[in-house]
Structure 1
């Protein structure tokens, strides 16, 4: 049985400038943010299986008031440390999903956030991210991990990792986006990154302006919802403020 923990970095608004601004639910007012701003959670996930300790996407890389990475603090709160993580699965490399693959240590060196983990990255997405750059991608956050031996490059339209984690190229939110299904024989955990970011989006039919191919992303959400209901998936919603994990 898979055990799932959300690793929230907090609430943020994001507007047309693609900047993530922290948002206090008790004190801030959404209407006071720039027109068109969306309220989102930034929420990597920890999934524990019999074989692995897995992190799905890595967040923005925010730190707490003591200078500790939020994702490390969240791990410690659940009884795990950075060195316990065995796999990091990346859906895509936008800055809010891949901003904490590495961080600067006390000596100012870029080091892997999870020192003993293998990082699974879709090779075409890495190439696209470096070529495209800001504001959606921060190459300075991506390139340091590429020079290490921690990266396991994923290729092809579909594939399998260690016999129980499948990925498929989806290409709705960004051209080289991928999604994952973790099937441990008991549970099926689906992580759709930004193609299934919130529970409400799985129930509504609309084209989102922030997707690379809005019509395709809409179609994919319908497909994920139908397949997930049929197979009993547990959905992980990276940007959902209220419902991080749910079955449809």
Structure 2
């Protein structure tokens, strides 16, 4: 099993939720931060699994996630699974692209897209929230490639387990992948950077900050005891860490 970080780069983002590529100099607006945006590819030999799809950032007219996959010798048609932790636009932007006018199509034509149905229902109600890209949500809501997860925990494949964690958004989910004795853990926006383990606060951008904080304490202990490989979607440098 191989893990590939498909970095879209560094961005500044503030309360407007507009992601601006970082040029090494500019400051973000009020309440702004500098973050990386990184979806992950898990290659099992028979399957190519994407954990989130990033912003959908384009460079020279091409989605950065597609360029990153091409650099690995992988075409979009080869992706078998797309697992969405939650539906904020910096995690779903590469899921779908505009074809013409206002029409959209899914980026990975042969993949099954896995997402929490309750998360989608919640997200579609946030009509004035700039954290969401509603054309993509509307496409996901009624598409034959989408597999809706209704349970709080379960299996996606024999190696891939999901669990609703409900810290960052009401039905945010984490992903755990087993490879023999090895555990790969993706906490998405409840564990977006390594520093969240060492500076474990009740962050205001979480739906339930106390829940996220308590989960990080539990995960940190378990990760160290069981030597997890942890994936950090918003790391500026260290996106994969062995604990």
TM range (shorter): over 0.9
What TM-score results when the alignment is normalised by the length of structure 2? Answer: 0.95
- Give the structure 2 partner of residue 73 of structure 1: 67
Residues 105-159 of structure 1: CA distance to partner in whole angstroms, max 9, x if unpaired? 3687422111110000111101111112321222212111332211111112111
Distance 2:104 2:28 in 1: 33
Contact 1:101-1:142 within 8 A present in 2 as well: no
Corresponding residue for 1:15?
A: 14
Aligned to 1:166: 161
Per-residue deviation, residues 18-74 of structure 1 (Å, max 9, x unmatched): 22111123xx14xx3223211100110111113410111011111111x11111000
> Which stretch of structure 1 is more off in the superposition, 114-123 or 135-144?
135-144
- Paired with 1:204 and 1:51, the residues of 2 have a C-alpha distance of 38
Alignment of 1:233-248 (within 5 A): 233-248=228-243
Relative to 1, partners in 2 of residues 1:89 and 1:150: Cα closer, same or farther, differing over 3 Å? same
- The answer for unaligned runs of 5 or more in structure 2 is none
Partner of 1:178: 173
**Aligned partners of 1:100 and 1:141 also within 8 Å:** no
Aligned to 1:214: 209
Q: Quick one: distance in 1 between partners of 2:87 and 2:170?
A: 11
Cα RMSD for the two superposed structures? 1.5
Q: 2 CA distance for matches of 1:205 and 1:57?
A: 24
Q: Secondary structure at the match of 1:127?
A: helix
Gaps of 5+ in 1: none
Cα distance in structure 2, aligned partners of 1:186 and 1:70 = 33
